[in-house]
Amino acid sequence: MLTGRNILLGISGGIAAYKTPHLVRLLKKSGADVQVLATESALKFVSELSLSTVSRRPVLTDIFSADAGHESERTMHITLGEWADALVIAPATANTLARLATGLCDDMLSLCFLTLRPGKPVLIAPAMDGHMYDSPSVQRNLSMLAAQGCNILEPESGSLASGQCGLGRMPEPETIFEALTEMLAAPEASALCGKTVIVTAGPTREKIDDVRFLSNYSSGKMGFAIAAEAARRGAKVRLVTGPVNLPTPPGVERIDVESAAGMLAAARPLFDDCDLFIGAAAVADYRPEAPVAGKIKKKDAEMEIRLVRNPDILAGFANGRKPGQVAVGFALETAGGIDYARRKLVDKRLDLVAFNIYDGRTSGFEVDTNALTLLGRDGNVTELPLLSKEKAAAKLLDAVESILPR
């Protein structure tokens, strides 16, 4: 499966490093050439001899080896960045994640990370105590690396070296091997390749006064996952997003807005040139008729705010679109409501609606998973299981590709 592929395997200093000789064996057995890059701490958990034996190459650690006076030794990190087809870092400790995210380069692993040629995949398998993994610092660094295009292989749950049980275990070598082979598999030509896609995401904020607004709980995660997947498939993606705290996906043009009127103003000029419009934003249906300058002072009497309808961005695109343009929307309900999704499909003249339930735990706003039911204009109904939003985005775009004009 990996015959002729050149793999850099970075190993950092976690207890899971003891599993890496088995990973090297799996890669070698599949036909790959493997160069191990180990931190000094990693070699406290796994021997250099075992790694060099199974890889049939010397393990590289320090920037300056004993023979670093030779020109080829001084530039080895550059030649390895050109040589490699992929970089795998397993285990990736909190310290290594921080160094990679901030661009530090004081060993061969971090140097090769920086010199790896653009477009070559990086697979990172974090492994650490669960409390460390959940810390804001580690999550920030993971988000930064993901925004750079790195593929993050989520840790598994189980017994940890600390004696506790929970999230943080490095996936087994077989799982890492399968993830890498999938990344390196030649992708099938996507119908989205070369297409121009508009995705709206996140909430909108409708001003009451200068310090208050009406909004909703949308995190933007679903829309951002769709934008990232569309870009990965070769589309030119323009992401029009309300206020969210998410990194811009690689290869995506991002336009930040605040209100529904602002989202429409940003999206409308893009309508004519797009092939596909996906309305994943949770656009507020109403806005205060007359926002107040300054701050409204509290009074003893009740306060009334008159609301007026916001423009329907998705319907505006769908009703005025040119032949061949495709319109996709979302319909979210707290219970039931699939008939509402069907009406939305017809009333807004959409090609596809993704219906989902908001339960506050596993599906809908803020969470990392979603369960979509895809309703097509042709009457087809596809009910997807609970998936990560990234995988749900991929399934949604699979369905979209089947209805795109060729």
Instruction: Give residue-wise pLDDT tens across range 339-391.
Output: 889 999 999 999 999 999 887 777 878 788 889 999 999 889 999 998 989 99
* DSSP code string of 314-353: HHHHHHHPPTT-EEEEEEEESS--HHHHHHHHHHTT-SEE
Q: For residue 95, tell me if it sits in a domain.
A: yes
Q: For residue 1, tell me if it sits in a domain.
A: no
Domain stops at, among 184, 212, 231? 184
Across 23-37, 124-138, 288-302, 324-338, the highest mean pLDDT is recorded for 23-37
* Phi, psi (deg, nearest 5) at residue 388: -60, 155
pLDDT for the residue numbered 70: 43
Residue 255 has pLDDT above 90, yes or no: yes
pLDDT for the residue numbered 57: 95
Taking a C-beta distance cutoff of 8 angstroms, is the pair 234, 192 a contact?
A: yes
Q: How confident is the model at residue 84 (pLDDT cuts 50, 70, 90)?
A: very high
Task: Tell how far CA 173 is from the center of its chain.
Answer: 23
Residue 255 among known ligand-binding residues: no
Report the chain's terminal Cα–Cα distance, integer Å.
31
Q: Which of 145-154, 191-200, 311-320, 345-354 has the lowest mean pLDDT?
A: 145-154
Task: Tell how far CA 78 is from the center of its chain.
Answer: 28
Taking a C-beta distance cutoff of 8 angstroms, is the pair 397, 377 a contact?
A: no
Please give the average per-residue pLDDT across 246-250, as a whole number: 84
Residue 107 among known ligand-binding residues: no
Do 268 and 174 lie in one domain? The reply is no
pLDDT for the residue numbered 336: 73
User: Measured between alpha carbons, how far is 367 from 278 in angstroms, rounded to an integer?
Assistant: 20
Report CA-CA distances (Å) from 52 to 23, 214, 328, 356: 13, 61, 52, 51
Do 148 and 66 lie in one domain? The reply is yes
pLDDT for the residue numbered 68: 44
Strands 352-357 vs 286-288: parallel, antiparallel or unpaired: unpaired
Higher pLDDT: 63 or 180? It is 180
pLDDT in tens, 181-206: 988 875 566 899 889 999 999 999 99
Do 345 and 220 lie in one domain? The reply is yes
**Coil, strand or helix: which one is 380?**
coil
Q: Which of 31-40, 66-75, 179-188, 377-386 has the lowest mean pLDDT?
A: 66-75
Domain that holds residue 26: 6-184
User: Measured between alpha carbons, how far is 130 from 127 in angstroms, rounded to an integer?
Assistant: 9
Domain stops at, among 155, 184, 213? 184
Q: For residue 189, tell me if it sits in a domain.
A: no
Do 232 and 163 lie in one domain? The reply is no
Work out how many domains the chain is built from and give that number: 2
Residue 60 among known ligand-binding residues: no
Output the domain CATH number for residue 267. Answer: 3.40.50.10300
* DSSP code string of 59-119: PB-SSS-TTTTSHHHHTHHHHHHHH-SEEEEEEE-HHHHHHHHHT---SHHHHHHHHSPTT
Q: For residue 359, tell me if it sits in a domain.
A: yes
Residue 311 among known ligand-binding residues: yes
Residue 65 has pLDDT above 60, yes or no: no
pLDDT for the residue numbered 73: 52
Please give the average per-residue pLDDT across 240-247, as a whole number: 93
Do 77 and 156 lie in one domain? The reply is yes
Domain stops at, among 149, 184, 219? 184
User: Which helix (H) or strand (E) is 23 found in, with range?
Assistant: helix 20-29
- The answer, yes or no, to whether the previous bond of 91 is cis (omega within 30 of 0) is yes
pLDDT for the residue numbered 190: 84
Across 56-70, 185-199, 246-260, 270-284, the highest mean pLDDT is recorded for 270-284
Residue 39 has pLDDT above 80, yes or no: yes
Residue 348 among known ligand-binding residues: yes
Do 175 and 233 lie in one domain? The reply is no
pLDDT for the residue numbered 77: 66
Do 151 and 212 lie in one domain? The reply is no
Do 164 and 240 lie in one domain? The reply is no
Q: Which of 135-139, 156-160, 239-243 has the lowest mean pLDDT?
A: 156-160
Q: Indicate the pTM of the whole model.
A: 0.61
Do 70 and 202 lie in one domain? The reply is no
Q: For residue 154, tell me if it sits in a domain.
A: yes
pLDDT for the residue numbered 66: 41
Q: For residue 289, tell me if it sits in a domain.
A: yes
Question: Which residue has tokens 């929307």?
Answer: 329
Q: For residue 190, tell me if it sits in a domain.
A: no
Residue 313 among known ligand-binding residues: yes
Do 131 and 272 lie in one domain? The reply is no
Q: How confident is the model at residue 67 (pLDDT cuts 50, 70, 90)?
A: very low
Please give the average per-residue pLDDT across 260-285, as a whole number: 96
Q: For residue 243, tell me if it sits in a domain.
A: yes
Q: Does the annotation count 95 as an active-site position? A: no
Do 179 and 282 lie in one domain? The reply is no
pLDDT for the residue numbered 359: 79
Do 96 and 211 lie in one domain? The reply is no
Active-site position among 216, 245, 319, 356? 216
Q: How confident is the model at residue 160 (pLDDT cuts 50, 70, 90)?
A: low
Output the domain CATH number for residue 104. Answer: 3.40.50.1950
Question: Which residue has tokens 């004009």?
Answer: 405
Average pLDDT score, the chain: 89
